[in-house]
Structure 1
C-alpha cells in the first residue's frame, strides 16, 4: 500500500433538529396546552487513534465526512432523536490542524485516544418551552443550531524510539530487517526505501523498542532534494538517532566522512531540535573491509568526524556487532523513558504498607 503521511479533509457535524409547535387534542380537555418537543442534537464527528493503521491513504479517496442531523421535535412531548455520530480512524501519531491557519488542534499519541473534531448542533426548542402564566398557548419554536464545519489537515509523524539515519545504500533496511520484525525491500541500488518502515526490536521478555527506517538522505534534502526530506518529520519524535555510515562504499572516490558530515548539516538546516537529539555513530559493512585494515579505517573515520560519542562497528548483513548495539540502544531508550515519567507522589505514612515485623 502506498504510504501517505498527509491528507486534507472536510468534516461537518450534524445540524440540530427543529423544535415543534403542537397542542394537546384530547377529549374533555378544552385547553390542553402546548406539547411540542425539542429537536434532537446533531451528530458529532470524532477521531480515534487506531494502532492497526500506519497510513492516511484512506483519506485521499474520501475527503468529506458528514454526521447525521438531529430529528425534529414532535407532539405529545416527544423530543427528536439525536443524530448518529461518526468516528474517523487515524494512525497513532496523527496531528490534526486547521487547514487554513495551520494551528495545531490535536495530537493523537496514545492508542485508543478519542477527540471530538466537530460538535453537533443543539436541537431547537419546542413550544412547550415557552409556556408561562401569561403565555398559555405559545406558538414559538426555534430552529436547530448548525453543526460545526471544519477544513482540517491530517499529518502523520510515526512514533518510534529510534530512528535510522544515513545516505542511500548505507544499509539501513538491512539493519532493520536483521534486528526487528520489519521486512523492507532490500536491493543494491539507491533509494530502495520509498516510505518509512517500522520494526519492533525485542531485547528480552517485556523488553523492546521501536525503530524507524526512513528513505536515505542526500545533500540538499532540507531544501527538497531526493526523497528523505519528505520523511524527516518522522524522526522528530524519536529518542535516539543511529547514524549509519558505510565504511566500504562500492564507488571509488566516495568519502564516507564527507557523506556523514553532509547528513549532519541537513539535520541542522531542517530542525535544530532534531540536530540536537542524541546521535550515535554506527559504522556498517565492516565485513567488506579486510581484517588487517579494519581498525585503522575505523579510527580514521572517527578522528576526521571529530566524533566524541558512542561508536559501534557492525555488519548488518552478517549481524556481527548487532547484539551489542541493540542492548546499548535499549538501555539508552529505557533510561530516557524513565526520565520522562512524572515524579510519583510520596506515600502518606499513615497508609504505608506495614513491614514484616509490624
Structure 2
C-alpha cells in the first residue's frame, strides 16, 4: 500500500495534469535527445519539478528510468573523515543530494560526477536516430544549497565532460546559483498549480479512491491551506479521508502537519512571554523540530510568517523581516543552525520590547 501522492504520481509527459505549456516544452526537448542541454528546474515545493524531470527522462530512455536502486557511496574528506551519501540510480541516470554532505559537498561533485562523466555510456536500444544516447543524466537535488566551492567544481565538470553527462539541477530558488552555472543551463520555471487545478486533481484522486464528497467546498479549503503545494494537498486529503471513514464534509477540520502547529504555538508564546525562560523553551522546541528533519530554513520561514501575522504595528513587521533576512544569510554561512534560530528569536524579542 502506497501513499496517494506516490500512487497517482504521473510517470510520463502525456499523463501530466497541469501547465500544458511547460509540458509541451519538455516534449520538444525529448524529441531531440542528442541535443538535450543541461537543465535547471526551479520553483516552489510541490510544484512538480521532480515529477516532470523523471517524466522527461522516461520519454528519452523509456520505462527503465524507474528501475531504481539505492546505493551508499563513501567519501573521504581531506581530514580523513569518512562520510556516506545515498545515491539513487537506474541504468540511465543518477540522483544525488550533495548538500546532505554539508560543507563537504565539493568532494561529491569532484569525485562522483567525475567518475560518472569519465565512463562513456553506450546504449544499443532502438531509437529513431540509431545508436546511442551516449550520455548519462545526473539529477542534483537542492542545487541551491550547494556551497560556492561545489558550484565552481560543478561548472568545471559541465565544461569538461559535457559529451558524456547531462546535469538536471532541481532547486526552489536560483538566487544562490552562481552566474557561470546559470549561463550553461537551460532554465525552466515550474510554477505552483493554481487552486482550480489543485481542486481538479483532488477530485480525480477522490473518485479513484471512492472518497465521498459532500461538496467541493472542502477541496477548496484544502487547496487554500496547501498554498499551491500539490504534494501537501494530496497528503492532507488522504489524512482527512482516513480519519473520517472516507467521507469529506464542508465541516471536516483541515489536518495540518504537526510541525506547523508547533511553530505556530511557539510564535504565540514569543508574542506573550518575552523572557529567558521562554527562550530556553523555544530552544528545546527547535531541537525537537531539527531532530525530526524539519530544515532550519523552513523553521525560520514559517516562524517569520507566524510572527508577522501576530505583529500589531508596521514597525515590528519591518523589524521581523529585516532580522529574518539577516539570520537567513547566517544560516547559509554557518553550520550550527540552532545558534542562528535562537539568535533570531532573541533579536525579535528585543525588537518587540523596544517598540512598546
Assess same fold via TM > 0.5: no
Which of the five TM-score ranges fits, normalised by the shorter chain?
Answer: under 0.3
> When you count strand as a share of all residues, which structure comes out higher?
1
> When you count helix as a share of all residues, which structure comes out higher?
2
| TM-score where L is the length of structure 2 | 0.25
| TM-score where L is the length of structure 1 | 0.25
Report the structure number with the largest CA radius of gyration. Answer: 1
